[in-house]
Structure 1
Amino acid sequence: METPEDDKTDEGQINEMDKTDDDPISEKEKTDEDPKSEKSEKSEPETPPSSVQKLLSIARRQSEQLERLSILASPRKSIRKSILSATTAFTSEIQPVEEPSADVAKPARESVSQPLKELQFRASISARKASLRKDLSYAGYAKSNFRPQPGGCCIGKLDIDDVIRHSKKPLKEPLLKNVLPRDKQNAVAVFAHLMAYMGDLSSREDERDNILQILSGGIRTFEIRDEIYCQICKQTTDNPNSDSNTKGWQAMALSCGMFAPSSSFLPTLEAHLEQVVNGTVGKGKHAGSVTDPPRMASYCLKRLHKIEQTGQRHMLPTQEELEAVEKMGTISATVYLPDSTNKTMPLDPMITTEEVVVKIVQMLGLSEPKFFCLCEVDTNQEEKTLGYKTYVAEVQSMWAGNCYPEVVDRLRGFRLTGKKAKSRDNRVPNYGDDVLNKIFQRGSIGDNQPKFLFKRNLFLDHDPGVAETTRNRELAVVYSQAVHDVVRGAYPLSEQDLLMLAALQMRAETGSNSPQTVKGLSISKFLPKFFLEEREEERKSAVVNIVSGLPLDPSPATRRFDYLDYLKTRYPLSEASWFFVKQIQNTRLPEEIFIAINGSGVFYVQPDSKEELLHMTYTEICSWAYSYTTFSIVTGNLNYNEDHRLLTREGADIGKAMQLFVNRLF
């Protein structure tokens, strides 16, 4: 945008040039000049200052319009048309200026043409954005993409006023023209489920089953996602029933948090939701109701943007999540620390594990969230690191068994009845009874129940600026994590190593090496269960003897460091980043393995015994790459190389861990 100072400069330059042209010249120069040039000089009109002022006023007007309009994407053809029409309209407002001669007033011509180009560009952008804002409405999209419905008032023609508004009649054809023939039946069935969910149609399915049918159709079938969103927009436009409209917006919120529409319909959906938020669409409709449309549309936009950035869901929501989204509330999740303390937290249904880690790091006063992760402990007590972009609600849905294949198959079997069916019992557990505790509570969970576990997964040196108190807090977390892994038998350690670690743990926790002090402790807190079978007293006596021979140390931090250092010397992978993957190339290795990453390189580890299968140093690794479902490591040299391809959805996290270690080493 040009400032007023720039305007004055341009006008001053032109006036100064006009004065220069009128200055007298020597008689010799006059005689040497060509008569034709003299004639053209006399006949050339001066550029009036009013034309420049008009140009600058138009520039300011176009700049103000540019600031008011937001940048929106559009197809190339519409951009060309809008630029062409805007340029034509702009040039028609400007009075033509005669072209001066080549050697007279050349600087003045350049100073006028440059603002002209800028103004033409700004005018084209402003016109394009204005046209885009108009075309991105839901009604504008319907005019170009909806098909005429059978039985409409205009046979064979699209009645736009009827097709974009709420209807109490089921569809006979999909709304969109581009729905494939194989998906037409599902698209029509989705609308019937939507009407039943909103209370506009009775069915044998209860409310929960109807919304799960809609969501499962969108999760599995990409081709009908735009159709689903268009149907919801239709049923929430001019809906006279407040309760029905509320359920329609709840269906919109649930869909926005499960899957995104196609890139061609996404701008229209965002613009439609923004118009509802601003009150330009549906103004005054159901304001102040239980679910106010502008407030719900803002909630839908937030969920839609999150699903665009992080990716779609793959599991249907639990009953708790359904209720939370319908009320724009929170879900609850219990996160355990390695020392068996836990905290139940209220969380946004769209929260990811990375965001949960940030919350816990701040809660515990630790240094950097990148050093920590959230793990899933399954029913077999096997720990698997969850990717940073994993939805917490998605993991809970998996635990509840909310897979979609069984549900979506019933889309074709939707049947209408004369009365509403009785509600069925919930098929998923309700986690909504937990409340937020002020501190982490001591407790345990059943061995056969899955849970979230907070752990450290990147063992890099701290920056020099980290405070001593923060270091001590992180030392406590790492120490409890190491004890947790040793006691559950996660590492392949010898009998002597297990006894020594138990003795070091006793000394670290009691601060004493006296046999009388440690004899009263339960040995099950220090040794794995399989190691204590039928030999508990013998093992305890051996540990007490080892403790009595250890030197005293008054520093709790030093005693913990002794435990960690001993464990690291016996099993270096105890301080590594672990990821569960599948490999399909090397037939000599098991299909399911762990990949462990530390400062020494990348390791393939046997899942059960935790024994090392393959070691790749960083000097052997040429490159690595990942996609949404794979991770590839290339080793070798220019003459020979080998590609180690793995199946995993944590490829980005694996690459991030490798890069951090490489940066520290090299």
Structure 2
Amino acid sequence: MGLEDDPELLVKGWLFREVCGSWIKQRCYWFVLSLDSLDYYSSSERGARRLGTLVLTNLCSVIWPDKQTFKETGYWSITVYGRKHCYRLYTKHFNEAVHWACAVQKVIDTKAPVETPTQLLIRDIEENKFNPEVVDNMYQHNPILKHTQSPLYAPLLPFPYGNHSGKGYATVREEAVKLFNCLQQLECARDPVPLIQGVLQTCLDLRPLRDEVYCQLVKQTSCTPQPHTAAHLRYWQLLTCMSCTFLPGPAVLKYLRFHLKSQFPESEMDNYASFIGEALEKTRCRECVPSWEEIQVLMGRQEMLCTVHYPGPGSCQLHISSHTTANEVVRRMLEKLGLKESRNTFSLFEQNAHWERAVGGSTIIADILTSLSAKEPDSDSQWRLCFKLYCLLDADAISVDSIEYLFLFEQCHEMVVRGQLPACEEDLQTLAALRLQSARLLMPPCAPPRFPGGLLGGTLWNHTATAAHKQKVEQDLRLRSRLKEEAAAIMSTIVECWKGLAGYSRRDSMTAYLTIARQWSGFGCTLYESSTGTFSQKLWLGVAATCVSLYRQGEAEALESFPYGQICSYGVSDSNTFKITAGDRDLLFETTKVGEQKLIAGEYTACLSLCHQNQPPRVLLPVIKY
């Protein structure tokens, strides 16, 4: 009886095998799969010489057939990774390749989980944590738990063999060993920040390595020959950064907490341990690796200084930790600016001169600061964090003497600059004059009148600029000359209007400005550019305190309005479409800010619901994911 007749073999057959990393078509072997291994022989006859064995455990992995290999070689391939060997196997038949891959994977799935010595010791420490003598004995007789100057040749935790994660990394097992080498380099590095940042980035990209790095750091901070040296404290500093960025799994977290409680009282290590213990209570997984500045601050167990701007020239500086959320900053800004009693709601925004986006209430501020610092600055603007009105629920209740009134004025002017306030040319010129008077009162008395940047924005120039863009090249100079003349005429008109405002205080200017703006029925709403199948041109979708309205861009009257009481549901139907169901109608709007539309509408309805229950509106902030 030959090998092909053995009933204990699950799958058997002829397959080509890649030898020494090169595709050699002639190397064909008889492969057999049993419950414990994948073997190959020189032939299918009984007594044939076995040429190799790959023992299968639950850490083995299988790479399934892919079209790219078939295009390159004309064969379908599967790859089986083991602890010592890797078999790359080929066949001409796709179904046969899939059959082998499924069979090998089924055998792997039947295997019991492999536990490393470190895992077993962690479990023993947890079981004996109230018996110091037993734990001390474990550390004494198990060098794997203690600090070492020697390299690590295998991970402390089990990882699948050959598990390539992409992103330019090697296998997870190889990366784990590399990370331990990086940790050891901390002891002699002149500047540890790049190494720390690199370790954190790898852990962000390769989630399974987070527990591994925690175990490596516990190892390197246990039974250290010289625990009080600056070199040794580098491990504690990295452990501090890890604790503010990632949470370990439950088993490793218990092991870490036990380790933190085992430090010498009132020592520098104990101070780090206390800081780390508190951080672990607050940490959620971060979206960004801590910045250079944040790492420096964490190494000293300090807080960062964050600048929050608000409409107008003002700003506040707040101390924040790696766990401070946007909601917390908003509450602190409300206290600082005396806005806690406001009936309107506020939010933080990422902002530059041309673009802004609301920050979700649960977003970690340190992540926002890191992302802003990583963005390329424009030539004429800088990214910043701004505190602004978010939902205007009761504009009439805002006192003209309050800072909230300044917020309303500045944000209304932003809409004018963006061309989002439908008004006649005469009103726009008056608004420009009032803005000039308001800005003039902030200048030194002897300064000549200047037009602040963005004073007129696109609103007054839109029609002329569009026409100029469409003219032929040979008419360009003439058009430029005409535009210059028209600009001079408009400026002259604004200056004459401004001269008539002599005696206006800044408050008078702001009040007159907002009086004109309030003439538009959509005053106070948030506008989003969108389009819908019903109308061919670009539209504005206005989300306000009482309704959602649809406007043609530049027109004051709403095409349609939908009070919240008539809206059955609203939400996101896909990445670019906002859907409103009102009665028996489904309205779809294509826009680039779907998430913001949904969430600001939700906040308005939530605030209105609270008002109907005679409760004061709360500071409700969106949770926006991009």
- TM category (shorter chain) comes to 0.5 to 0.7
Alpha-carbon distance between aligned partners in 2 of 1:253 and 1:190, rounded to the nearest angstrom = 19
Matches within 5 A, 1:456-475: 456-461=389-394, 472-475=402-405
Could you give the per-residue CA deviations for residues 588-619 of structure 1, whole angstroms, max 9, x where no partner exists?
A: 999x9997531242468999999999865413
Counterpart AA for 1:358: R
The 1:158–1:640 alpha-carbon spacing in structure 2 relative to 1, beyond 3 Å, is farther
Q: For 2:493, what is the secondary structure of its paired residue?
A: helix
Q: How does 1:338-487 map to 2 (within 5 A)?
A: 338-368=311-341, 371-378=345-352, 381-401=354-374, 447-461=380-394, 472-487=402-417
SS at 1:222's partner residue?
coil
Q: Which amino acid aligns with 1:338?
A: P
* Deviations, residues 331-385 of structure 1 (Å, cap 9, x unaligned): 233322221233444432332222222222222222358722221124x621222
| Counterpart mapping for 1:209-220 below 5 A | 209-220=194-205
Which runs of no fewer than 5 residues in structure 2 stay unpaired?
A: 1-117, 127-137, 165-169, 462-482, 614-626
Any conservation in 2 of the 1:193–1:211 contact (CA below 8 Å)? no
| Aligned equivalent of 1:541, options 476, 492, 496 | 492
Asked if the contact 1:139–1:160 (Cα under 8 Å) also holds between the matched residues in 2, the reply is no
CA RMSD of aligned residues (A): 5.0
- How far apart are the structure 2 equivalents of 1:626 and 1:142? 46
- Matched with 2:283 is 307
User: How far apart, in 2, do the equivalents of 1:518 and 1:616 lie?
Assistant: 52
User: In structure 2, how many angstroms separate the alpha carbons of the residues matched to 1:372 and 1:191?
Assistant: 48
Aligned-pair CA distance for 1:509: 7.0
Aligned to 2:456: 528
Secondary structure at the residue paired with 2:564?
A: coil
Counterpart of 2:63 in structure 1 is none
1:123 alignment counterpart = none
Larger Rg belongs to: 1
User: 1:255: which partner in 2?
Assistant: 242
Q: 1:658 aligns with which of 590, 595, 605?
A: 605
Instruction: Return the match for 1:598 from 539, 544, 568.
Output: 544
Amino acid at match of 1:298: S
Asked if 2 retains the 8 angstrom alpha-carbon contact of 1:197 and 1:207, the reply is no
**C-alpha spacing 1:550/1:607, structure 2 compared with 1 (3 Å):** closer
Larger helix proportion, structure 1 or 2? 1
Pair 201,484 (structure 1): closer, same or farther in 2 beyond 3 Å: same
Q: Hey, what's the Cα distance between the residues in 1 that align with 2:123 and 2:596?
A: 37
User: Residues of 1 paired with 2:218 and 2:541: CA distance?
Assistant: 46
User: What aligned pairs does 1:78-117 form with structure 2 within 5 A after superposition?
Assistant: none
The answer to whether the Cα contact below 8 Å between 1:338 and 1:484 also exists between their aligned partners in 2 is no
Task: Summarize the Cα distance change of 1:461–1:571 in structure 2 as closer, same or farther, 3 Å threshold.
Answer: closer
Aligned with 1:232 (options 208, 213, 217):
217
What secondary structure does 1:335 align onto? strand
* CA distance, structure 2, for counterparts of residue 613 and residue 253 of structure 1: 57
Distance 1:605 1:223, change over 3 A: farther
Contact 1:194 1:210 in 2 (8 A): no
% same residue: 20
Partner Cα separation in structure 2 for residue 606 and residue 173 of structure 1: 65
Work out whether residues 166 and 239 of structure 1, in 8 Å CA contact, stay in contact via their aligned partners in 2: yes
In the TM superposition, 1:169-184 aligns within 5 A as 169-177=150-158, 181-182=162-163
Aligned residue runs from structure 1 range 603-622, under 5 A: 616-622=562-568
For residue 525 of structure 2, the aligned residue among 573, 576, 588 is 576
Q: 1:631 to 1:360 in 2, by over 3 A?
A: farther
Distance 1:231 1:461 in 2: 56
Report matched runs for 1:141-290 at 5 Å. Answer: 141-143=122-124, 161-177=142-158, 181-182=162-163, 185-199=171-185, 207-242=192-227, 243-262=230-249, 264-265=250-251, 269=253, 271-272=254-255, 274-275=257-258, 279=261, 281-284=262-265, 287-288=266-267
TM-score by length of 2: 0.58
Give CA deviations for 1:377-410 in whole Å, capped at 9, x if unaligned: 24x62122211222222122223338xxxxxxxx
In structure 1, the gaps of 5 or more residues are 1-136, 146-156, 403-427, 430-444, 512-516
Counterpart-to-counterpart distance in 1, 2:419 and 2:161: 55
Task: Read off the aligned partner of 1:448 and give its amino acid letter.
Answer: S
| Higher RCO by CA contacts (8 Å cutoff, separation 6 or greater) | 1
Q: 1:125-179 CA distances to partner (integer Å, 9 max, x unpaired)? A: xxxxxxxxxxxx998644499xxxxxxxxxxx99983333223233222222365
1:139 to 1:631, Cα distance in 2 relative to 1, 3 A: farther
Corresponding residue for residue 295 of structure 1: 271
CA distance, structure 2, for counterparts of residue 643 and residue 144 of structure 1 = 59
- Which of residues 288, 292, 297 is equivalent to 1:319? 292
- In structure 1, the residue matched to 2:513 is 563
Q: 1:519 to 1:185 in 2, by over 3 A?
A: closer
Deviation digits for residues 457-512 of structure 1, max 9, x if unmatched? 12123899x9x69x62321232233234434656565433311222444566789x
Name the amino acid aligned to 1:659.
Answer: A
Q: Matches of 2:281 and 2:535 in 1, distance apart?
A: 41
Q: Which structure dedicates a bigger proportion of its chain to strand?
A: 2
Counterpart CA distance in 1 for 2:577 and 2:395 is 28
Report SS of the residue matched to 2:200: helix
Counterpart residue identity of residue 449, structure 2:
L
| Cα distance change of structure 1 residues 510 and 451 upon mapping to structure 2, 3 Å threshold | closer
Mapped partners of 1:215, 1:606: distance in 2: 49
Q: CA deviation at 1:323?
A: 0.6
TM-aligned CA distance change 1:601 to 1:553, over 3 Å = same
8 A Cα contact 1:632 1:643, kept in partner: yes
- Distance in 1, matches of 2:124 and 2:532, equals 56
How many equivalent residue pairs?
A: 448
Distance in 1 separating the partners of 2:513 and 2:187: 66
Q: CA deviation at 1:320?
A: 0.8
Amino acid of the structure 2 residue aligned with 1:576: C
Cα distance in 1 for partners of 2:184, 2:248 equals 21
1:81-137 alpha-carbon deviations (Å, 9 max, x no partner): xxxxxxxxxxxxxxxxxxxxxxxxxxxxxxxxxxxxxxxxxxxxxxxxxxxxxxxx9
Q: Distance in 2 between matches of 1:244 and 1:232?
A: 13
Task: Please give the alpha-carbon distance, in whole angstroms, between the structure 2 residues aligned to 1:165 and 1:610.
Answer: 73
Give, in angstroms, the shift of residue 324 of structure 1.
0.9
Structure 1 letter corresponding to 2:515: D
Contact 1:253 1:300 in 2 (8 A): yes
Task: Provide the rounded CA distance (Å) in 1 between the counterparts of 2:384 and 2:275.
Answer: 29
Q: TM-score under structure 1 normalisation?
A: 0.55
Moved more, 346-355 or 450-459: 346-355
Residue aligned with 1:372, SS? strand
Letter in 1 for 2:409: Y
What does the per-residue CA deviation read over 1:255-303, in whole Å, with 9 as the maximum and x for residues that have no partner?
22222234x43xx51x4555455x4x1335xx53xxx233222322333
SS for the counterpart of 1:252 is helix
Counterpart amino acid of 1:216? Q
SS in 2 for 1:455: strand
Structure-1 separation of matches of 2:606 and 2:451: 41
Cα distance in 2 between the residues matched to 1:490 and 1:206: 50
